[in-house]
Structure 1
Amino acid sequence: MLERSGRAQFGITLHSGERPTDVQWYFREESALPVAIQRWELPPGGSEGLHAHPPGAEALEEIYVLLHGTARMTVDGERFDLEPGDAVLARAGQQHDLRNPGTSTAVVMVVWGPPGTALDWPRYRTGRASRDAAEREE
């Protein structure tokens, strides 16, 4: 199944942010995965708006991966200036905000869903390979 870039894209102002963000939610109805996978196009000067997803029945964790442009992420008061390929995790209950301080559109892949256990199927071994690579860097 293929979903083309821009399909069912919509503009929305997120969490009292500044300026609308263009969002594409990939396979919103087709996938059974317990996460949302979205591409955001955040305009220059735009922001998501400082917010948190409280722990409990509606808890969410979010992973932000900058694909293009520049972005600044704040999580519980700690600021991260992102370059393409960088990722930030916002856990349930953490105050967070994504901003585009640049002069061009920031393109971000956002994956969000309820906290749970990360999976690694023995046949594919990507979890083990990732852990081993991180240990080599220490």
Structure 2
Amino acid sequence: MSDFGFSPMGGDPFFNTISTLFPIIFIIIFGIIIAVFISNGVKYVQNKRSPQESVFATVVSKRTYVEHHSSHHADDHMHSSTSRTHYYITLQFDNGGRKEYLDVKNLYGLVAEGDTGYALVQGEWIVAFERSMERSRERAY
């Protein structure tokens, strides 16, 4: 029988390198996924434990961020896709400072750029906004 210089169980350096690298790469990717879950969980807990503060502010901008996830299943030739939209509202305070907040209470469609009023913020979240009619009327004239 002829040997073409390849022995799958023996000394092929390419096979040995791949069989060593695959578990290492798998562990690194798995570790990154776990780290992202832990990071998101810590961020959620920090925001949830933060005190709620009422601040007078002006809505200066709004933006969205859309995440897309898709997967293809080779076994049954199925393709699935999901997306999630995150809504952000940027507030400007009387001292001139600005901060962007994640909208967790579906306020995005209820506020407009230029609205002034009292925002209830909690950590990196905006949880309520009450428009001030006095300032809104002043701006209209």
TM-score w.r.t. structure 2 length? 0.21
Q: Which structure has the greater CA radius of gyration?
A: 2
User: More strand per residue: 1 or 2?
Assistant: 2
TM-score w.r.t. structure 1 length? 0.21
